[in-house]
Amino acid sequence: MKPIDMIATDINCEDLGLSRLCLMENAGKSLSDEVAKLSTYTFSKPVKIAIFTGSGGNGGDGFVAARHLLNRGFEIEIFMLSPLENIKSADARKNIEILMNLTPRFSRLEINYIDSIEDLEKISIAKSTSFSEHIILDGILGTGIKGKLKKKVKKVIEIINESNALKISIDVPSGMNPENGVIEDVAIKPDYTLTFHNIKSGIKKADEELIGGIITSDIGIPIEAQIFLGKGDLLRLKKRDSYSHKGKNGKILIVGGNEDYTGAPSIAALSSISTGTDIVYIATPETASLAIKSYSPDFIVKPLKGDYLNPNNLDDILTIVEEVDAVLLGPGSGLNKETGTLFNILASKIKKPIVIDADGLKLIDLSLIKDREDIIITPHLFEFKSFFSKIISEKSLKTEFEDIDLKFDNLSHEKLMDKLAIFQKIVKDIKGTVILKGKNDLIFKGNKLRVNKTGNQGMTVGGTGDSLAGIAVSLLSQDLSSFDAGGLSTYLNGRAGDLAMEKYGNGFRASQLSEFLGYLMKGN
Ligand SMILES: NC(=O)C1=CN([C@@H]2O[C@H](COP(=O)(O)OP(=O)(O)OC[C@H]3O[C@@H](n4cnc5c(N)ncnc54)[C@H](O)[C@@H]3O)[C@@H](O)[C@H]2O)[C@@H](O)CC1
Ligand SMILES: [K+]
């Protein structure tokens, strides 16, 4: 599991009502169980445990473990590398405050703060000759490590590494990149790494001698927290460089519209810009262009010859494709045969990430896009069936597929898995991401699945699908993978719908979703 998946899952637990404080308690408790076991296994008598803690949640796990280990009769010495006021994790702060409240101290607990490198003298444990009869718990840095190690942290890691104590790293050896297992400077060299929920990808990749034995502990995170999209998935968005200039954070092109449909590309464009892309181009027939331009001064509209999109527009469109990072094909294009010819040429010529929506889905030949990972298609059930029905040859699957619906809520586990398996058999024929829109949106890519539960019945109003496609292409232009962009776009679109519902009831319009999207992008 990548650290970002773990962090997103933790935050998504909150959407289910499971607090991070509770997860930290579970982590610290399972840590104390494992430490107690390892202690019995390694030493013949009770030993002292030194816990080194940083400013994040990793240290918080250490504080919780300290409380449980005290109850098991261990003598605990905590070495905080960050003072209380600099502890960033609110849950970690709560847990060290509990320990600090234990005065006068009946338990065998000592809390030290290492302010400067000179203070390292305090680490008596590091000098002790009976060092081998200690356990060191490393709660300095976990999945939140960023950049180069601070001087003091580096020195402490070096001191710990020199010791003969039994060293146990919490979640990740401090100093190691939890994503790729690389150690840029120094890292704790533990005898054991005790990781939570799932092994982090960096630990899988790192040499065994750098991580010691791996113990994975369950901390009560339900599988649904990993599958359901939530606020945590917003962390997948790249941080913006404050020196970045116009266009650096995404440029997109929407190819759509015709003389009758001007709303669909406009709504898609509004939602694109509201979810962070810098520049939105819309290539549309000239008969639609004026209406689209008048929707917003934020769009760059390229009028194309004709009342509907056709192959003569190809060169003009490809010129704009050169400029952008991702393309949306389909909203409001209509089903003219010549539009279909154009879309099929575009689908094979454009080598940048593409979202295919609405009429685009009806016009584009599946074989042209099936081997591309960077494609998102966004069908509702009816479109899904007509898009994929051509490729099903197995007779029994064909019958099951024809009858399938999107009612999932009250199914037993077995029936749910059987139903999902039918969808999965079908979508695995394309390498890109499929967003199957419904009460619960299903996002598939190969064997991977996410489920989005945001949104409401008010979203049956025309244009909400265009908004979703606009968000998806915007996120693709900001470097998200098709699977991450697909998932997050359903979450954002549905949440915007929920906020619109709160404000306007069933009477909200799809063009109003953009009003809420910017607010959600702030992490609300
Ligand atoms: N729900 C959760 O999020 C849970 C998290 N858990 C623990 O929390 C950890 C993640 O917590 P955090 O996100 O707070 O991350 P960390 O505990 O890794 O700490 C990050 C903090 O360390 C400091 N820091 C970052 N890079 C540094 C560097 N190079 N040199 C010196 N200081 C640096 C920063 O102040 C940053 O805020 C996990 O590894 C796990 O141990 C567990 O409690 C289980 C539940
Ligand atoms: K650690």
20-77 pLDDT tens trace: 999 999 999 999 999 999 999 988 887 899 999 999 999 999 999 999 999 999 999 9
CA of 75 to the centre of ligand 1 (A): 25
**Residue 136: is its pLDDT beyond 60?**
yes
pLDDT of 126 reads: 53
Tokens read off for 162 = 């020199």
- Smallest Cα–Cα separation from 335: which of 303, 311, 358? 358
Q: Which helix (H) or strand (E) holds 347?
A: helix 337-349
pLDDT of 213 reads: 95
Q: Provide the mean pLDDT of the chain.
A: 93
Q: Are residues 196 and 80 in the same domain?
A: yes
**Residue 125: is its pLDDT beyond 70?**
no
Question: Tell me, what CATH number does 25's domain have?
Answer: 3.40.50.10260
Binding site membership of 20 for ligand 1 (Cβ less than 6 Å): yes
ipTM of the predicted assembly exceeds 0.90:
yes
**172 CA closest ligand 1 atom index:** 39
pLDDT digits (tens, 9 = 90+) for 433-454: 999 999 999 999 999 999 999 9
CA of 451 to the centre of ligand 1 (A): 28
pLDDT digits (tens, 9 = 90+) for 453-465: 999 999 999 999 9
How far is 295 from 312, CA to CA, in rounded Å? Answer: 26
Atom 19, ligand 1: which residue's CA is nearest? 56
**146 CA closest ligand 1 atom index:** 26
Q: Contact 285/257 with Cβ under 8 angstroms? A: yes
**91 CA closest ligand 1 atom index:** 43
Q: Which domain holds residue 184?
A: 3-227
145 in a labelled binding site:
yes
**Tokens 């909400």 sit on residue:** 464
Binding site membership of 23 for ligand 1 (Cβ less than 6 Å): yes
Name the band, by pLDDT with cuts 50, 70 and 90, for residue 129. very low
Q: Calculate what percentage of the chain has a pLDDT beyond 70.
A: 98
**147 CA closest ligand 1 atom index:** 29
- Smallest Cα–Cα separation from 329: which of 295, 370, 363? 363
Q: What are phi and psi of 206, to 5 degrees?
A: -70, 155
Question: Tell me, what CATH number does 507's domain have?
Answer: 3.40.1190.20
Name the band, by pLDDT with cuts 50, 70 and 90, for residue 124. low
Q: Are residues 76 and 133 in the same domain?
A: yes
Binding site membership of 176 for ligand 1 (Cβ less than 6 Å): no
pLDDT of 132 reads: 62
Q: Which helix (H) or strand (E) holds 285?
A: strand 279-285
Q: Are residues 82 and 110 in the same domain?
A: yes
CA of 188 to the centre of ligand 2 (A): 8
How far is 120 from 320, CA to CA, in rounded Å? Answer: 60
Q: Are residues 204 and 336 in the same domain?
A: no
pLDDT of 442 reads: 97
**Residue 128: is its pLDDT beyond 70?**
no
Which one of 227, 254, 278 terminates a domain?
227
Three-state DSSP class for residue 326: strand
**10 CA closest ligand 1 atom index:** 1
Q: Which helix (H) or strand (E) holds 372?
A: none
Which one of 227, 262, 284 terminates a domain?
227
CA of 229 to the centre of ligand 2 (A): 28
Q: Are residues 251 and 144 in the same domain?
A: no
Name the band, by pLDDT with cuts 50, 70 and 90, for residue 376. very high
Q: Are residues 197 and 265 in the same domain?
A: no
Q: Are residues 16 and 165 in the same domain?
A: yes
Mean of the pLDDT values across residues 362-370?
94
507 in a labelled binding site:
no
Q: Are residues 121 and 262 in the same domain?
A: no
**Residue 492: is its pLDDT beyond 60?**
yes
**Residue 242: is its pLDDT beyond 80?**
no
- CA distances to 50, 128, 170, 306, 412 from 132, in Å: 12, 9, 19, 82, 54
Q: Are residues 162 and 305 in the same domain?
A: no
144 in a labelled binding site:
yes
**Residues in Cβ contact with 461 at an 8 Å cutoff, skipping those fewer than 6 apart:** 508, 509, 510
pLDDT digits (tens, 9 = 90+) for 259-299: 999 999 999 999 999 999 999 999 999 999 999 999 999 99
Binding site membership of 150 for ligand 1 (Cβ less than 6 Å): yes
Q: Are residues 62 and 199 in the same domain?
A: yes
Q: Are residues 160 and 262 in the same domain?
A: no
197 in a labelled binding site:
no
Binding site membership of 186 for ligand 1 (Cβ less than 6 Å): no
Name the band, by pLDDT with cuts 50, 70 and 90, for residue 163. confident
pLDDT of 244 reads: 73
**Residue 203: is its pLDDT beyond 80?**
yes
pLDDT of 130 reads: 47
Binding site membership of 276 for ligand 1 (Cβ less than 6 Å): no
> Cβ–Cβ contacts within 10 Å for residue 505, how many?
9
418 in a labelled binding site:
no
Residues with CB under 5 A from ligand 2 (ion): 58, 138, 169-170, 174
Which one of 196, 227, 258 terminates a domain?
227
How far is 283 from 281, CA to CA, in rounded Å? Answer: 7
Q: Contact 171/196 with Cβ under 8 angstroms? A: yes
How far is 15 from 32, CA to CA, in rounded Å? Answer: 28
103 in a labelled binding site:
no
486 in a labelled binding site:
no
pLDDT of 401 reads: 84
Binding site membership of 255 for ligand 1 (Cβ less than 6 Å): no
More confident residue, 37 or 131: 37
Q: Give the HSE-up count for residue 426: Cα atoms under 13 Å, Cβ half-sphere.
A: 27
Q: How many domains does the chain have?
A: 2
Beta bridge partners of 76: 49, 109
Q: Are residues 67 and 200 in the same domain?
A: yes
Binding site membership of 31 for ligand 1 (Cβ less than 6 Å): no
**Residue 241: is its pLDDT beyond 80?**
no
Q: Contact 140/54 with Cβ under 8 angstroms? A: yes
Q: Contact 253/277 with Cβ under 8 angstroms? A: no
Name the maximum alpha-carbon separation found in the chain: 87
Name the band, by pLDDT with cuts 50, 70 and 90, for residue 122. low
Mean of the pLDDT values across residues 330-345?
98
CA of 412 to the centre of ligand 1 (A): 38
